[in-house]
Amino acid sequence: MTDHSVIPVKPELAQGNRVDAARRAEMAERAARDPEGFWREEAGRIAWMTPPTRIKNTSFEGDVSIKWFEDGVLNASVSCLDQHLAERGDQVAIIWEGDDPNSDSKVTYRELHERVCRMANVLRSLGVKKGDRVTLYLPMIVEAAVAMLACARVGAVHSIVFGGFSPDSLSSRIQDCDSTLLITADQGRRGGRTVPLKTNADEALRSCPSVKNVIVVRNTGGGVPMEEGRDHWWHTLSEAAAADCEPEPMSAEDPLFILYTSGSTGKPKGVLHTTGGYMVWASFTHELVFDYRPGEIYWCTADVGWVTGHSYIVYGPLANGATTLMFEGVPNYPGVDRCWQVVDKHKVNIFYTAPTAIRALMREGEAPVKKWSRQSLRVLGSVGEPINPEAWLWYYRVVGDERCPIVDTWWQTETGGILISPLPGAVDLKPGSATLPLPGVQPALVDGEGQLLEGAADGNLVILDSWPGQMRTVYKDHERFIQTYFSTFPGKYFSGDGARRDADGYYWITGRVDDVLNVSGHRMGTAEIESALVAHPKVAEAAVVGMPHELKGQGIYAYVTLTSGEEPSEALRKELVAWVRKEIGPIASPDAIQWAPGLPKTRSGKIMRRILRKIAANETDSLGDISTLADPTVVEELIGNRVG
């Protein structure tokens, strides 16, 4: 058996004009020594109406101000579309693969340009202007990409809400940014089932007076009520609109999109990304990390409702003139071999997915994979959560036949794109490690007091200086931006993740060190789930922690104290699970609910989550010091009634 502790770069991937180890080192050195020069050149990868002369103007101190390419003028849709028309207008831009294996379609760059222009004209005709917010609540259909790019074309700021979120989650995200327009579909399709998007939207809109117009894609054809004067069919408006549309000139620092993400406290925050730096970062990282070559077919299995879909289904690949595959369905429908069937059908070269999917497929054994050739595959990617070495090796051996390097890409909604990842032709791999930072990225580890740790170490993962794709602020709440990311370790960006760095300088992400959960690669705040639970009339108090889960990475473990007079029961447990699903969405369903007559609190009333995490993980022999608890007997009671 071969030694898999280090897997060297495949020689063929370091040949030609590919980024090899020497080139990577040269780029990293240049980006650190002369960031202005390095990023001025890299800015040339996207289309500018006025190229920038001022490159980097950033500070992590005080009020925190991040500006890249600030005097440049551009439009993101031009970089993704117009820029390619002369050279590859007839090349396929998007391959759409339906939930039903018999339905697919292809859209060329020229066709996509036309569809985006039409929709952009529709938006303008409905009064949408530069800077207005437009919320998208859509399934994985081509119209989702068209809607994003149409917003970008007219300078509107899109805010996509994942189709799996509940009406309440949708309405609070619409209210936070005061969207004037919502784009949705009659229904979505996933794994043979339909998702009632329009019905959910109607419910959400009852509490969203800012929304004046709704554009509805006829997707499944399932009948939905249309409200006169407010709701319009996408196809009717689109057909009537002109097929060309002047792009709005945008400053590099004008917003491109808002995307809500969960933090350790409060409501989800609106992560704001701007135009120039984000586009440069999306293009740069997509090309480098996946070693993207013209003509290749690239498939990222994410949903456009998450940042991965923004950067690596739409903006990055299209900016690079790639053919990007958009998949409406799920990896196990109609069979657990669906991914490999799609790989063979469309001759996919680069495949990018999440560890949770890999673990689920691994459980089904090798046969469903081996049934398909997968010869087109060249690079495999992983994103969203730490990948355990066992899953990594299965992905490498079984899916990639030991031929394809695996790029384990660490990043966040906030970072806009990948920050730590191997480059296929340049970095030797270690199963389970995201390896090394990309050129221009300066990660570091600090201890609890903020002291920088040198060499091999374990600590909190921070980034020392800005990169172009970084978020600029929390929408309408710059104070929260500073507080969340720059106050724990002043002057440094704090990721919220813990990591280990080995003697070779390789990073091994160990997971969140704050109260954020990562369930199947979906990010959730414990506070959000707790507030959903306590909103139930029978719940007095709730504390939510993560627990290890074989498939999901983390599961949701909730401790619930009932209001006096209420009795625990199986029916009530089911009711609470359904309640959370309804309040937030199915991805937030608790995996375990433990009835807790009391919660472990300090004398000042603070819940000691450390103890609750230990009990949930069944690590009760290492609880640590519990002497500061107001009532230490609570702990025994909880241990005795552990669930699962």
Q: Which of residues 249-308 bind ligand WT7 (CB under 6 A)?
A: 261, 306-308
Which whole-number Å values give the CA distances from 363 to 344, 355, 360, 551, 555, in the listed order?
21, 12, 5, 9, 18
Please state, as a whole number, how many other Cβ atoms lie within 10 Å of the Cβ of residue 419. Answer: 26
The nearest distance, CB 355 to ligand WT7, in angstroms, is 8
Please give the Cα distance from 233 to 216 (Å, whole number).
5
The nearest distance, CB 354 to ligand WT7, in angstroms, is 8
Which whole-number Å values give the CA distances from 284 to 44, 162, 279, 419, 482, in the listed order?
10, 26, 8, 11, 27
Binding residue per annotation — 465?
Answer: no
Q: Which is nearer to ligand WT7, 282 or 509 (CB)?
A: 509
Each residue 383-412 as x (binds ligand WT7 by CB under 6 A) or -, in order, gives xxxx---------------------xxxxx
Q: Which is nearer to ligand WT7, 158 or 523 (CB)?
A: 523
Please give the Cα distance from 145 to 148 (Å, whole number).
5
Binding residue per annotation — 192?
Answer: yes
Q: Which is nearer to ligand WT7, 132 or 385 (CB)?
A: 385
The nearest distance, CB 278 to ligand WT7, in angstroms, is 14
Strand order, beta sheet including 181-185: 231-233, 213-217, 181-185, 133-137, 157-160, 255-261, 269-274, 473-474
In degrees and rounded to multiples of 5, residue 252 shows phi and psi of -55, -35
The nearest distance, CB 365 to ligand WT7, in angstroms, is 25
Binding residue per annotation — 408?
Answer: yes
Q: Are 366 and 338 in contact (CB under 8 A)?
A: no
Q: Which of residues 364-383 bind ligand WT7 (CB under 6 A)?
A: 383
Instruction: Tell me the number of residues near ligand WT7 by CB under 6 A.
Output: 23
Please give the Cα distance from 250 to 434 (Å, whole number).
35
**Residue 195, interface with ligand WT7 (CB under 6 A)?**
no
The nearest distance, CB 628 to ligand WT7, in angstroms, is 29
Please state, as a whole number, how many other Cβ atoms lie within 10 Å of the Cβ of residue 410. Answer: 26
Q: Which of residues 405-444 bind ligand WT7 (CB under 6 A)?
A: 408-413, 434
Binding residue per annotation — 335?
Answer: no
Binding residue per annotation — 332?
Answer: yes
Q: How far is CA 289 from the centre of its chain?
A: 17
Contacts of residue 362, Cβ cutoff 8 Å, sequence gap at least 6: 390, 391, 394, 395, 398
Name the nearest CA neighbour of 318 among 95, 44, 18, 38.
95
Please state, as a whole number, how many other Cβ atoms lie within 10 Å of the Cβ of residue 363. Answer: 11
Binding residue per annotation — 480?
Answer: no
Peptide bond into 590 cis (omega under 30): no
Q: Which of residues 303-342 bind ligand WT7 (CB under 6 A)?
A: 306-308
Q: Which of residues 511-540 bind ligand WT7 (CB under 6 A)?
A: 511-512, 518, 523
The nearest distance, CB 118 to ligand WT7, in angstroms, is 31
Binding positions for CoA are 190-193, 308, 332, 520, 581
Binding positions for Mg(2+) are 534, 536, 539
Binding positions are 190-193, 308, 332, 384-386, 408-413, 497, 512, 520, 523, 534, 536, 539, 581
The contact set with ligand WT7 (CB under 6 A) reads 261, 306-308, 383-386, 408-413, 434, 495-497, 509, 511-512, 518, 523
Binding positions for ATP are 384-386, 408-413, 497, 512, 523
